[in-house]
Amino acid sequence: MAKTLARRKPAKDRKRPIGEAVAYAVGHRIRIEALAILAEGKHSPNEVSAMLHEGLSVVSHHMKELFESGCIESVGTAQVRGATEHFYRAIKLPYISDEEYLAMPTDTRREIIGVIVQAIMSELLGSFQAEKLETDDDVWLAWDAANLDLEGKREVADELAASFERLLDIKARAANRLAESGEPGTTTIISLTGFERSRQGQPTNGYGAPTED
């Protein structure tokens, strides 16, 4: 592998703005599956094509569009059986503290949020396409819409932060048990969100359990 630093297409040179790029990334089965694969590490279109049992030209097109839209990173090239192959991976984000996030301009925040939304959606839709959700007895999917004041919004944010810390502790304890038992484990996507709705108002019954009229 050539020693090339990971490179994301600069925003000014991208084919699509970040909002359109995220929607594009999760708008096709092959792109969804490719994103999930690239989250595991660097791969070439040839490797992804073999994993998905799809034609190389089709997969190459989708991955090139993902890169041109800023959805994945280029990590260099390598000579494979006399041909030059390009390698890509999912975009890597560093840990960002609350203080660092609050100091960021909104366009930088949007870039980071776009990467996270894309990752969550690609994993969720990939599992849905693979019919994993309905066969998992422990799957947990829930959402609701709540009309909150400022104090309520902060309470939700604090609760989500605390919940995520507890989830990381569960992850660490499970890793120790798996190391001792040698079991393969089950890769489980964990995601928490809390955000302002795109439009004013809310559904009469929210998005929780249905209520009688």
Q: List 89's β-bridge partners, or say none.
A: 73
Second CATH level (architecture) for the domain 1-134: Orthogonal Bundle (1.10)
User: Which amino acid appears at position 188 of this protein?
Assistant: T
Q: What's residue 199's pLDDT?
A: 83
- pLDDT higher than threshold 70 for residue 213: no
The shares of helix, strand and coil residues in the chain, as percent rounded to the nearest 5, are 50, 10, 40
Share of the chain above pLDDT 90, in %: 79
CB count in 10 Å sphere of residue 73: 20
125 close to 34: Cβ distance less than 8 angstroms: no
With cut-offs at 50, 70 and 90, classify the pLDDT of residue 202.
confident
pTM summary value: 0.86
